[in-house]
Amino acid sequence: MKQIMRLLREPLFHFVLIGGLLFALYAAVSGPAPVPTNDIVVGPERVAQLAAAYEAVWRRPPNDAEMHAMVDGFVREEVYYREALALGLERDDTIIRRRLQQKMEFLTDTGADLIAPREGELEAYYRANELRFQQAPRIALQQVYLGQSSTPKNISAILTELQSADDADPRNWGERTMLPPRLTLSTPAEVDGVFGSGFFDAIAQLPAETWAGPVESGYGLHLVRVDAKLAARLPPLDEVRDAVLQEWKGEKAKELREQVYARLLARYNVVLPDATDPDNP
């Protein structure tokens, strides 16, 4: 009895159960596969579906001519769809096979959104995956672009002027450039994305709240003022709970997908080529 109760509390059991219910619900809503006939019925439900799809794109309901054109398009699609099935054109089409696989997996993944972690489970997941949620260091900076071949004398003169100015505007010094004169608090990826690889690490060594340099980037030399620094930090769980929950659900969705696949695979007898057979390359 204890083992049964433990199983009933297991999230993966819930996943598999919900996945099965979703498949059953989809089958019930979709109904049995229709018997092929020569009738193509465009009922009120289909017309409403076509109209809703049109309005979602164009932000207005279709007029009579547009509705008539959509119905004609649906009939054309249905004719070709049925004829293609009759010819078996779907059987060896990789795109169709993958699309059907995706729809089956979507039904499975939906079950993960219906499951909540047990008490303490999200905390344990967060502790085991702290690196995923660690916030990168950030730096706010100002920079003056000196070009690619500025002389030491010119660099020293500009640096002295910047350091002595009370509120220096970096746009008034150096050479013209499309590079931003200022960046607000930015991560290494963001800084290096602007100035080139390694620039963040180089300016991270500079003292804060004073002009320093030169620092070399992928574009040339810069004088830089680091206005603020924030070290890398691991935020408390409450601060990133939503993100952690989404990651947890993503992991559980993968587990559920494999559980459901294993159960579906058990219905089939899979015959593979014998790797030891010399006739099979």
Work out the pLDDT band at 29, boundaries 50, 70, 90. Answer: very low
271 Cβ contact partners less than 8 Å away, ≥ 6 residues apart: none
Domain ranges of the chain: 1-31+40-134+236-281, 136-230
Could you read off the pLDDT of 40-67 as tens digits, one per residue?
999 999 999 999 999 999 999 999 999 9
Q: Is the pLDDT of residue 5 over 50?
A: no
9 falls in which pLDDT band (50, 70, 90)?
Answer: low
CATH of 136-230, one of 3.10.50.40, 1.10.3720.10, 2.170.190.11, 1.10.150.20: 3.10.50.40
31 — pLDDT class (breaks 50, 70, 90): very low
137: Cα separation from own chain's centroid? 22
Buried b (16+ CB within 10 A) or exposed e, 245-255: eebbbeebbee
The answer to whether residue 151 scores a pLDDT higher than 90 is: no
pLDDT at position 161 over 60:
yes
Predicted confidence (pLDDT) at residue 26 exceeds the cutoff of 60: no
Reported as a single tens digit per residue, the pLDDT across 83-107 is 988 888 888 888 988 998 888 888 8
Coil, helix or strand at residue 34: coil
Sheet of 138-147: strand order equals: 182-186, 138-147, 221-230, 211-216
pLDDT at 213 > cutoff 90: no
Distance, CA of 71 to CA of 44 (rounded, Å): 11
